């Protein structure tokens, strides 16, 4: 996924996290997929980038995927439906709405007729994710790990207080967009005390306490644990 924008301000996704993983000796690919595309479309883009990376680097062994938010659903679809299971050793999902997000449902109900989030938003509703989980089973031989995020309301940036409340009322503890209940999948590793943006090491000055210096080591730690278990 490329950079995130809030108005004229651009924030790089996963700021510094990829560099830290490379410094530990692992080859890293940061993929970029359509931000409003369907899971199926994004999964196809993901597969293409991974295969090109592996071929260019002449890497043959199975790899570990670490995916944030909707990226975890893209990866699950790619592994199970696009014949990528033999090339994937493990999938780590961080704050992925495996069971959908009540915020996506709320948005669709109130903005019906307006394609604000495109196919991506429709794919993230609770009903759509329930259907997805029935159609896309976990692939045998691939290890699935999950990490959740949960913070109190005061740790949520102002622009996401409404989504936090909607998700909290319907699903309980959450990170501003995705609940702990929805993000738990496979072997649950940890619940991070970080909101949905802090999890990618995105700084939001003026909104919440800066988590820089705390998130990157968490990513490195879980990636190394997953790689060691392969």
Q: How far apart are alpha carbons 143 and 185 in whole angstroms?
A: 11
Query: What would the mean pLDDT of 178-205 be, rounded to a whole number?
Result: 91
Provide the domain count of the chain. Answer: 1
Contact yes or no for 181/126 (Cβ under 8 A): no
The domain containing residue 171 runs over which residues? 4-228
pLDDT per position as a tens digit, 40-56: 999 999 999 999 999 99
Q: Residue 152: phi, psi to the nearest 5? A: -75, 165
Query: What would the mean pLDDT of 12-35 be, rounded to a whole number?
Result: 85
More confidently predicted of 78 and 213: 78
Q: What's the whole-number average pLDDT of the chain?
A: 88
Distances (CA, A) of 224 to 24, 181, 213: 9, 25, 18
The predicted pLDDT at position 210 comes to: 58
Is pLDDT of 206 > 80?
no
Least trusted range by pLDDT, from 23-37, 89-103, 196-210: 196-210
Q: How far apart are alpha carbons 5 and 98 in whole angstroms?
A: 25
Query: What would the mean pLDDT of 188-195 be, rounded to a whole number?
Result: 95
- Beta strand 63-68 pairing with 187-192: unpaired
| Global confidence as pTM | 0.90
Distances (CA, A) of 206 to 70, 164, 203, 209: 26, 18, 9, 8
Instruction: Write out the two tokens for 112.
Output: 């019906």
Query: What would the mean pLDDT of 79-102 be, rounded to a whole number?
Result: 97
Query: What would the mean pLDDT of 132-142 be, rounded to a whole number?
Result: 97
Least trusted range by pLDDT, from 64-68, 91-95, 116-120, 124-128: 116-120
Q: How far apart are alpha carbons 210 and 13 in whole angstroms?
A: 16
Q: Residue 116: phi, psi to the nearest 5? A: -65, -50
The predicted pLDDT at position 209 comes to: 58
The predicted pLDDT at position 61 comes to: 79
Instruction: Write out the two tokens for 169.
Output: 């009322």
Domain with residue 220: its CATH number is 3.40.50.1820
């Amino acid at each position: 996924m490329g950079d995130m924008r809030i108005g004229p301000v651009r924030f790089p996704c996963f700021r510094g996290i990829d560099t830290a993983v490379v410094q530990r000796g692992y080859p890293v690919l940061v993929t970029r997929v359509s931000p409003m595309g369907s899971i199926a479309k994004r999964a196809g883009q993901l597969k293409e980038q991974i295969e090109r990376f592996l071929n260019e680097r002449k890497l043959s062994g199975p790899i570990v995927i670490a995916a944030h938010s909707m990226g975890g659903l893209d990866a699950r679809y790619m592994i199970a439906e696009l014949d990528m299971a033999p090339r994937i050793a493990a999938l780590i999902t961080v704050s992925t709405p495996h069971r959908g997000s009540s915020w996506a449902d709320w948005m669709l109900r109130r903005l019906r007729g307006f394609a604000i989030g495109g196919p991506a938003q429709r794919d993230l509703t609770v009903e759509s994710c329930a259907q997805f989980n029935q159609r896309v089973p976990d692939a045998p031989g691939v290890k699935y790990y999950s990490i959740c995020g949960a913070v109190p309301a005061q740790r949520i940036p102002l622009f996401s207080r409404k989504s936090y409340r909607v998700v909290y009322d319907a699903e309980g503890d959450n990170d501003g967009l995705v609940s702990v209940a929805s993000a738990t999948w496979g072997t649950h590793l940890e619940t991070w005390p970080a909101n949905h943006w802090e999890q990618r090491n995105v700084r939001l000055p003026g909104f919440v306490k800066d988590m820089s210096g705390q998130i990157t080591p968490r990513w490195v730690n879980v990636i190394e644990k997953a790689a060691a278990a392969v």
